[in-house]
């Protein structure tokens, strides 16, 4: 039996996540419109900078819990990298669907809303209730595959 488009795109996010060098959580994301992938990304440091598997994790060193103090990290989130990649290549993502291995944080939720994304499909929960509130208020459809 052929997998659904949703299953197919979620499998691709898992493959994209394998590129991540984050020591805490490997995240992959793709933006899709009309069943076509527009851009993909994973969490990691800015272009040309050393990766966390080389430098160590500042958040671990400072015992920062997941979902807090996002600014104390070398890396960009997968969602941020996808939006940046689309912008760099002149790809219009408005009206697209985000497929992500994990629930977006509040920083990414605000970017996703402003990018005009209409739907977010994710699997892994993330401790950020404010992000869910932002999506609800903005009318972005959320699909959590974990139930």
Q: What is the pLDDT along the chain (147 residues), one digit of tens a residue?
A: 888 999 999 999 999 999 999 999 999 999 999 999 999 999 999 999 999 989 999 999 999 998 889 889 999 999 999 999 999 999 999 999 999 999 999 999 999 999 999 999 999 888 889 999 999 999 999 999 986
Task: Please give the annotated binding residues for Zn(2+), written as ranges.
Answer: 77, 105, 108
Query: Among 54, 79, 137, 141, which one carries the catalytic annotation?
Result: 79
Residues in the chain: 147
pLDDT at 146: 84
Integer distance in angstroms from the first to the last C-alpha of the chain?
Answer: 23
133 an active-site residue?
no
Q: What SS3 state is found at 100?
A: strand
| pTM for the whole structure | 0.92
Domain-wise residue ranges, the chain: 5-145
| Superfamily for the 5-145 domain | Cytidine Deaminase, domain 2 (3.40.140.10)
Q: What is the dihedral of CA 126, 128, 131, 137, to 10 degrees?
A: 120
């Amino acid at each position: 039996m052929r997998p659904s488009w949703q299953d197919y795109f979620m499998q691709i996010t898992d493959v994209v996540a394998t590129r991540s060098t984050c020591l805490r959580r490997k995240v992959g994301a793709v933006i899709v419109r009309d069943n076509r992938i527009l851009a993909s990304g994973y969490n990691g440091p800015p272009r040309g900078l050393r990766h966390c598997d080389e430098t160590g994790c500042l958040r671990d060193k400072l015992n920062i819990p997941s979902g807090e103090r996002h600014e104390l990290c070398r890396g960009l989130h997968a969602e941020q990298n996808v939006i940046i990649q689309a912008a760099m290549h002149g790809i219009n993502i408005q009206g697209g669907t985000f497929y992500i291995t994990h629930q977006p944080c509040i920083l990414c939720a605000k970017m996703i809303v402003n990018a005009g994304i209409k739907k977010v499909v994710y699997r892994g929960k993330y401790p950020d209730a404010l992000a869910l509130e932002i999506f609800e208020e903005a009318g972005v459809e959320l699909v959590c595959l974990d139930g």
